[in-house]
Chains A and B, each alone.
Chain A
Amino acid sequence: MKLSEMATHANWASLQPEFVDSEVEAAYTSDLLSDVMANAHDADVLITIQAHNNTIAVASLAGIKGIVICNDRSIPEDMLASAAKEKIAIFRTSQNQFQTSQTVANALDA
Chain B
Amino acid sequence: MLADLHNHSCLSPCASLEMSPRRLAWEAAAAGIGLLALTDHNSARNTPAFFVACREADIMPLAGLEITTREECHVLALFDDPEDALAMGEWVWEALPAYPLDAERFGDQPVVDKNENIVEMIDRLLTSSIEYVFHEVQHETERRGGLFIPAHINRQAFSVESQLGFLPPGTYDAIEVLAPEAETYQQRYPNIPVITSSDAHLPNQIATQPFCLQTKEGTISAIRKSLRALCSPQ
A residues at B contact (CB < 8 Å) = 32-34, 37-38, 50-54, 57, 60-61, 76
Q: Is B97's CB under 8 angstroms from A34's CB?
A: yes
- By DSSP majority rule, is chain B's interface helix, strand, loop, or mixed? loop
Residues in A with CB closer than 8 Å to B129 are: 32, 34
Q: Is A38's CB under 8 angstroms from B97's CB?
A: yes
Residues in A with CB closer than 8 Å to B157 are: 50, 52-54
Residues in A with CB closer than 8 Å to B71 are: 32
Q: How far is B105's CA from A34's CA once the two chains are assembled, in angstroms? A: 15
**In the complex, chain B residues 98-124 whose Cβ is within 8 Å of any chain A Cβ:** 99, 102, 105-106
Question: Of A32, A34, A51, which is within 8 A of B156 by CB?
Answer: A51
B158 on the interface (CB 8 Å rule)? yes
- By DSSP majority rule, is chain A's interface helix, strand, loop, or mixed? helix
Q: Is B105's CB under 8 angstroms from A54's CB?
A: no
The 3 closest A-B pairs by CB, nearest first: A52-B157, A34-B129, A57-B105
Q: Is A37's CB under 8 angstroms from B105's CB?
A: no
Q: How far is B158's CA from A24's CA once the two chains are assembled, in angstroms? A: 29
Residues in B with CB closer than 8 Å to A33 are: 72
Q: Is A37's CB under 8 angstroms from B99's CB?
A: yes
Cβ proximity bits B42-72 to A, threshold 8 Å, 1 near / 0 not: 0000000000000000000000000010011
CB distance from B96 to the nearest CB of A (A): 10
Residues in A with CB closer than 8 Å to B72 are: 32-34
What 11 new A-B contacts, CB under 8 Å, besides A54-B157, A60-B105?
Answer: A34-B68, A34-B72, A34-B97, A34-B128, A37-B99, A38-B97, A51-B156, A54-B158, A61-B102, A61-B105, A76-B156
Residues in A with CB closer than 8 Å to B102 are: 61
Residues in B with CB closer than 8 Å to A37 are: 99, 128
CB distance from B77 to the nearest CB of A (A): 19
